[in-house]
Amino acid sequence: MARILYKNMLLTTAALLSLSACNAFDRVSEIGDQPKLSSIEDPTHRDGYVPVKMPMPPPSLSERQPNSLWATGGRAFFRDQRASRVGDILTVVVTINDQAQIQNETKRSRDNSDSANLTNLFGFETKLNKVLPDAVSPTSLVDASSTTSNDGKGSIGRQEQIDLRVAATVIQVLPNGNLVLEGKQQVGVNFDMRELDIRGIIRPQDVAADNTITYDQIAEARIEYGGKGTINDVQQPRYGDQLFDILMPF
């Protein structure tokens, strides 16, 4: 058993070292070069892509408008210019300015005291020492007390502020007409790259006349804002430190 465990540990260590070595080789080969921007590609052809599936209402017949030049919800005379089909582009406005202050305190206190005696019970009280230890006394069979006191406090202070805009592409139209969008933005500056990814589901009715939508109107929103490069690398602990922090039990 010990031999199997030792073998598994060696295999795990070898796999971790191979991964870190591969990444280290890539980093060495990129010394002196700026982070490379990823190529523009169709997200639906990406490895591991899975189409979004959501509960859908029953289909309804579209409203007919005979002899009318205007379409329902249209913002233009000839055609609604807002994004509504796969491949259309719209602008997502992300303006997050959240603040939260939470303070909780819970106190609980309990004091119990129990006392009981059995001095006479049809003469059987004299037989207690045959069942219980010899030192038992009928006048003090039960004498117990307990005290419990709990005091818990907690506080949360959080502040987030993000203000940016990113163009996203409609990659799927759900059966009920809702749109699945995805957008990615990469900006390289001085050997560092800032990345912004956004994904989610929107209603066509929520798209404004200028073909924009705010982040709080996106269902199942996934917003990721970060980067990579020289500064980001310095801020990250080394692989040995990360592995030691995971395996260290204390």
pLDDT higher than threshold 70 for residue 101: yes
Q: Is residue 138 part of a domain?
A: yes
Q: Is residue 140 part of a domain?
A: yes
Residue 25, pLDDT score: 66
Tokens encoding 139: 């006048």
Place of tokens 């006048």: 139
Question: How far is Cα 118 from Cα 115, in angstroms, rounded to an integer?
Answer: 11
Which H helix or E strand runs over 67? Answer: none
Tokens encoding 97: 């300015």
Stretch 116-126: mean pLDDT? 66
Tokens encoding 223: 């917003």
Q: Which structural domain range is residue 198 located in?
A: 43-51+74-101+161-247
Residue 29 — pLDDT band, cuts 50, 70, 90? confident
Residue 203, pLDDT score: 93
CB 195 within 8 A of CB 213: no
* Residue that is last in its domain, among 155, 187, 218: 155
Question: How far is Cα 230 from Cα 180, in angstroms, rounded to an integer?
Answer: 34
Q: Is residue 68 part of a domain?
A: no
pLDDT (tens digit, 9 = 90+) per residue, 159-199?
A: 778 788 999 999 999 999 999 999 998 888 888 888 889 99
Residue 146 — pLDDT band, cuts 50, 70, 90? confident
pLDDT (tens digit, 9 = 90+) per residue, 33-91?
A: 777 777 777 888 888 888 888 777 676 555 556 666 665 555 556 667 788 888 889 99
Q: Is residue 225 part of a domain?
A: yes
Q: Are residues 138 and 180 in the same domain?
A: no
Question: How far is Cα 203 from Cα 82, in angstroms, rounded to an integer?
Answer: 12
Domain count, the chain: 2
- Is the pLDDT higher at 241 or at 63? 241
Q: Hey, what's the torsion of the CAs at 59, 64, 70, 71, to 10 degrees? A: 10
pLDDT higher than threshold 60 for residue 226: yes
Which residues, at least 6 apart from 44, have a Cβ–Cβ distance to it below 8 Å? 51, 171, 172
How many Cβ atoms from other residues are within 10 Å of residue 140's Cβ? 12
Residue 246, pLDDT score: 75
Residue 202, pLDDT score: 94
Residue 74, pLDDT score: 55
Q: What is the CA radius of gyration of the chain?
A: 34
Residue 98, pLDDT score: 77
